[in-house]
């Protein structure tokens, strides 16, 4: 009921705005099923030749000024002629134009820029591609990694605009001295700021590793906000589940490396060269097994301090602020198309993808052969093909 009252208030403001902008007192608004809005101009003097232009202007006014626009799927504009003679009245209505919100979307053009976000700094972002599908925002991992390793996803640009960005504090983005923004709510707010700046009423989210936690949190805290699909690649949706898998994978390492890791855990000292060697051995099996060069990352630095503060000393040990993170009990709240994607040798293993799948209604799985956690680095063709096919299906959902 409260939401309905808010809608009525917003519609009243929209009606007033339309009346002022088009210099008429005769404006009626109807909202059907919460997602189909019709604006009707009553007795507005406009020629038949000018109506198409006015229709578009009115629909764009709704797009730019109606607070509930993100919930709409169509905007229609009509005209009504009302005549009263000697106590009798007659009217004739026409609705010459109707637009989907996709048709009203402000076109995204390829560019890169800096954007001020909450937390006292600017993030770097890039828009690539001009395809007609729903734009997709790619959310990198870490925390403290960068988007450059996910550059191959710009190959989706012939289907849809692809937005890459570096989270505040890493990559090509600013690095504020104040680190109090190193928390999940900030990175969700940062994503919202990016989306708002690009005018994305409809959007797909593709998160990788830590980026899946950001995408998941955004979907949970912004239901019915125009997020049309989620791709969760190498999903990190629960620290307890992640560590459970990591312990199993560490158990497959040679005994000598397992002893080094156990001694480091016992002493709480993760800075020795032996521990680093054990970490590298794990990464060679489960992070990236091809180690293909990443030219897009040349000169781009991550933020190891952020990684250690939020996560910990390695992929298989969490000592930071995310050590209690867990959304596994909320997976059933996702009511949109979801793709769980992982590599054949991923540290988020295929068995975990299946565990998540049974808890996310209608979700799909794609296991990328010959790949570890860096799926699009190890096997870009298969990874991009799987994501492309899923997002195309989601466009038709």
Question: Which residues are known to be catalytic?
Answer: 209, 346, 373
The number of CA neighbours under 13 Å toward the Cβ of 305 is: 10
Calculate the dihedral angle through the C-alpha atoms of 120, 126, 131, 132, rounding to the nearest 10 degrees: 10
Q: For residues 216 and 213, what is the distance between their CA atoms, to the nearest angstrom?
A: 5
Determine the Cα–Cα distance for residues 187 and 241; give it in Å rounded to an integer. 22
**Three-class DSSP category at 130:** coil
Q: What is the CA radius of gyration of the chain?
A: 25
**Of 173, 73, 183, nearest to 115 (Cα)?**
173
Residue 195 and residue 192: Cα distance in Å, rounded? 5
Sign of torsion over alpha carbons 132, 133, 135, 138: negative
Helix, strand, or coil here: 172?
coil
CA distance linking residue 119 with residue 182, whole number of Å: 9
Strand-pairing partners, residue 208, are 233
């Amino acid at each position: 009921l409260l939401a309905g009252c808010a809608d009525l208030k917003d519609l009243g403001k929209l009606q007033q705005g339309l009346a002022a902008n088009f210099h008429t007192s005769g404006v009626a608004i109807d909202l059907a099923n919460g997602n189909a809005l019709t604006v009707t101009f009553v007795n507005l003097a406009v020629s038949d030749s000018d109506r198409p232009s006015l229709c578009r202007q009115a629909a764009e006014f709704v797009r730019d000024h109606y607070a509930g626009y993100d919930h709409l799927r169509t905007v229609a504009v009509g005209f009504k002629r009302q005549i009263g003679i000697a106590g009798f009245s007659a009217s004739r209505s026409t609705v010459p134009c109707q637009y989907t919100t996709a048709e009203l979307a402000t076109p995204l053009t390829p560019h890169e820029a800096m954007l001020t976000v909450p937390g006292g700094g600017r993030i770097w972002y890039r828009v690539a591609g001009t395809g007609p599908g729903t734009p997709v925002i790619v959310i990198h991992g870490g925390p403290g990694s960068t988007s450059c390793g996910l550059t191959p996803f710009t190959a989706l640009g012939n289907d849809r605009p692809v937005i890459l960005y570096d989270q505040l504090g890493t990559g090509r983005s600013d690095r504020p001295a104040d680190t109090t923004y190193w928390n999940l709510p900030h990175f969700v707010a940062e994503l919202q700021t990016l989306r708002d700046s690009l005018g994305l009423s409809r959007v797909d989210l593709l998160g990788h590793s830590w980026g899946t936690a950001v995408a998941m949190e955004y979907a949970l805290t912004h239901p019915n906000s125009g997020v049309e699909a989620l791709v969760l690649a190498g999903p990190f949706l629960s620290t307890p589940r992640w560590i459970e898998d990591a312990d199993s994978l560490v158990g497959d390492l040679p005994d000598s490396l397992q002893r080094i890791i156990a001694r480091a855990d016992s002493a709480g000292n993760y800075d020795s060269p032996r521990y680093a060697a054990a970490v590298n051995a794990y990464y060679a099996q489960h992070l990236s097994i091809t180690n293909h060069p990443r030219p897009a990352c040349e000169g781009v630095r991550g933020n190891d301090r952020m990684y250690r503060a939020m996560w910990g000393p390695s992929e298989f040990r969490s000592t930071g602020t995310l050590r209690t993170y867990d959304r596994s009990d909320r997976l059933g709240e996702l009511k949109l198309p979801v793709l769980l994607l992982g590599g054949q040798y991923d540290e988020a293993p295929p068995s975990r993808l299946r565990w998540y799948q049974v808890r996310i209604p209608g979700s799909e799985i794609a296991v990328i052969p010959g790949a570890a956690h860096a799926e699009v680095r190890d096997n870009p063709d298969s990874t991009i093909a799987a994501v492309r096919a899923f997002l195309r299906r989601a466009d038709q959902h």
